[in-house]
């Protein structure tokens, strides 16, 4: 029987490249599993799996127990916070990811969201469709002070775009020295100063800590516009909704919400805020180019491990853990 690759990423091989064909031509059998990684639905597939191309669903020790022959978990994307890296290392499973594959796509989407809020693009579209040609006056990005929180690949790409459009860019990243921040282009600053000084702020920090809270909003420059294409838990959504309602914040745009389901009840979905809030359903990385690159990198990782080579982008086991 040929080795089995389980694929649980919805968009894998949905671009312009035949990535399933590439795996099958290498002698691998490809089976699709649920994107939410439901154990009951996925168990039968994992029992035979040699490789797993996984999306954003959780990968726990329970999942890995069901996959005794698993050799490689290729994360289709960058973040591995949903993967139990310690359990994978203990079971001898190589974990990889696809760094940089969606950088340009997400950076462009962050800019698109920012401009959409500043110029009230969705609200204007709705009015025209209702035969209402009244005008809402917007704000220009050129000449503004823009803040970038987190200077990884995407944060740096956003910085370059903001600077090219005439912004003065400030950045904060607690993991980088001031010299490292300057080398990426923006002016280094503390988070407190960035909050006070910036007209617009784009979030590109890892999750796990709420940054935008009532204290942030109370200290922010009046009319500040926030963009979040990173993690939903960076933002206290109730506090942002209150800031928008009071006029303290000028707008909010995001590619994520804390509650991502058909029954979502986020205060940011209130109809009264619709003209100041722009939301998209995790489509920042969804360009044909990014999908092709993420998929190609995941396939390369699978083939490398299965064929006895070291993969290009292994994810290290967390420091201090034991195998």
Q: Would you call 221 a catalytic residue per the annotation? A: no
Residue with tokens 């967390």: 318
Q: Would you call 25 a catalytic residue per the annotation? A: no
- Residue 262's pLDDT is what? 47
User: Could you tell me which residues are beta bridge partners of residue 148?
Assistant: 171, 202
- Residue 87's pLDDT is what? 97
- Residue 261's pLDDT is what? 52
What is the tens place of the pLDDT at every residue in 202-229? 999 988 899 999 999 999 999 999 999 9
Mind giving me the DSSP string for 13-74?
Answer: T-SSS-HHHHHHHTT-EEEE--TT--HHHHHHHHTTEEEEEE-SS-B-HHHHHT-TT--EEE
Cα(283)–Cα(256) distance, integer angstroms: 9
State the catalytic residue, choosing from 75, 221, 231, 276: 231
The ranges of the chain with pLDDT < 50 are 262, 323
Cα(17)–Cα(292) distance, integer angstroms: 6
pTM, full prediction: 0.88
State the catalytic residue, choosing from 32, 90, 127, 282: 282
State the catalytic residue, choosing from 10, 180, 260, 309: 260
- Residue 323's pLDDT is what? 45
Q: Would you call 231 a catalytic residue per the annotation? A: yes
- Residue 75's pLDDT is what? 97
């Amino acid at each position: 029987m040929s080795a089995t690759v389980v694929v649980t990423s919805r968009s894998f091989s949905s671009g312009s490249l035949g990535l399933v064909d590439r795996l099958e031509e290498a002698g691998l059998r490809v089976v699709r599993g649920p994107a939410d990684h439901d154990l009951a639905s996925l168990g039968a597939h994992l029992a035979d799996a040699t490789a797993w191309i996984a999306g954003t669903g959780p990968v726990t020790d329970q999942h890995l127990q069901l996959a005794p022959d698993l050799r490689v978990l290729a994360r289709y994307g960058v973040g591995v916070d949903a993967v139990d890296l310690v359990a994978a290392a203990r079971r001898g499973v190589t974990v990889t990811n696809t760094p940089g594959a969606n950088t340009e796509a997400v950076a462009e989407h962050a800019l698109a969201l920012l401009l959409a809020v500043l110029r009230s693009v969705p609200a204007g579209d709705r009015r025209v469709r209702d035969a209402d040609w009244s005008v809402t006056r917007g704000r220009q990005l050129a000449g503004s002070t823009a803040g970038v929180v987190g200077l990884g690949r995407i944060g740096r790409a956003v910085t370059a775009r903001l600077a090219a459009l005439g912004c003065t860019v400030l950045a904060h990243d607690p993991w980088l020295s001031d010299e490292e921040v300057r080398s990426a282009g923006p002016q280094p600053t503390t988070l407190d100063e960035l909050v006070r000084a910036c007209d617009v702020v784009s979030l590109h920090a890892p999750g796990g800590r709420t940054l935008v809270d009532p204290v942030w909003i109370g200290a922010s420059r009046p009319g500040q516009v926030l963009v979040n294409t990173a993690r939903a838990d960076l933002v206290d959504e109730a506090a942002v909704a209150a800031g928008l309602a009071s006029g303290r914040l000028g707008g909010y745009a995001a590619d994520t919400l804390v509650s991502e389901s058909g029954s979502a009840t986020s205060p940011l979905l209130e109809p009264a805020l619709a003209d100041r809030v722009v939301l998209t359903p995790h489509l920042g990385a969804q360009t044909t180019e990014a999908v092709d690159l993420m998929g190609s990198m995941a396939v390369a990782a699978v083939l490398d491990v299965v064929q006895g080579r070291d993969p290009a982008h292994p994810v290290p086991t967390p420091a201090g853990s034991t195998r």
